[in-house]
Structure 1
Amino acid sequence: IAASPTPDWRLLFARGAAYERLGDWPKAEADLSAALELNPNEPDILNYLAYGWIDRGERLEEALAMVQMAVDANPRSGAMVDSLGWGYYRLGQYDKAVEILEEAVELEAGDPEVNNHLGDAYWQVGRRDEAVFQWRRVLTLEPDARMRQDAEAKLESGLGPQPKIAAAGEAVADPAPQPLVR
């Protein structure tokens, strides 16, 4: 059986996802971008690649447009709605982020990352008690070690989300932390 001259987008997507999970973003980005070229309207590719950029504070406007396309195609996907809300958060549009992340939590109530994102957004709009509630909730949802440490650090320090640093060394969207007022 002869090999196809064009790779299957699903294989590129799967390998890109595997590279991302292994922490090799350059290889992940290359495979996800190649998969997107082969299937430019696939919501899963649009969301995965765009979320990678959003989480790194890169190409935010382009990523937000891609995630919006994914959500338009699959509006009941909590993960995709979360990506959209997180994009608005990274752009500093915290009120819009809260609105969308609340919807994401309704769709994916048991996802620690979605709850963590909502807590961060609540913090930025001054809804501190609700932020603390969300971070405490994260700890009840079996988060991975990184997310557990993040939620615990916000709760223990009383400072809320810490500024994120983009790959280029520039701070992205998270303003200086404010003390937790109880």
Structure 2
Amino acid sequence: MKGRLSQDTMLGMCLDVSEGMAYLELSNFLHRDLAARNCLVSKNNEVKISDFGMTRFVLDDQYTSSQCSKFPVKWSAPEVIKYCKFSSKSDVWSFGVLMWEVYNEGRLPYENRTNGEVVESLNSGLRLLKPRLAPDAVHQLMEWCWKEVGTGIKQIPSRQNS
């Protein structure tokens, strides 16, 4: 299936995920493990978020893991890596990485780097490179997702307001 998704299909997949994540945020849930591997794709390329094993209900939009249990470093925001602090902003960061996966046809982020190398790169301000298939506007949205002072997923355009 590599190379067979149109620009409209890839954008639609990302929109499906953003709408699902907006619903979770409005319902006071943090997913904490958003990645392409945790999404289901139908025959007509509709995407549904799955794997809610790390999901937490929160009242104040953040959750700090007291045990700092395992988490997916390559999809995690700097505040998760540094302080084990999850929020809708850290879910937005993961959404940016998921978009990167979609526009790289399923490649793993930082595929040739160890978790330690990824942490060093993030701490020095480096981010994933623009996917070849991503239009500039999509890449700008990815970069917006990776700002250290981000905002919630509700701010990402949906089908209703795009």
Asked whether the two chains share a fold, i.e. TM above 0.5, the reply is no
Structure ranking higher in helix proportion: 1
Larger Rg: 1 or 2?
1
Give the structure, 1 or 2, with the largest relative contact order (CA under 8 Å, sep 6 or more). 2
TM-score (norm 1): 0.27
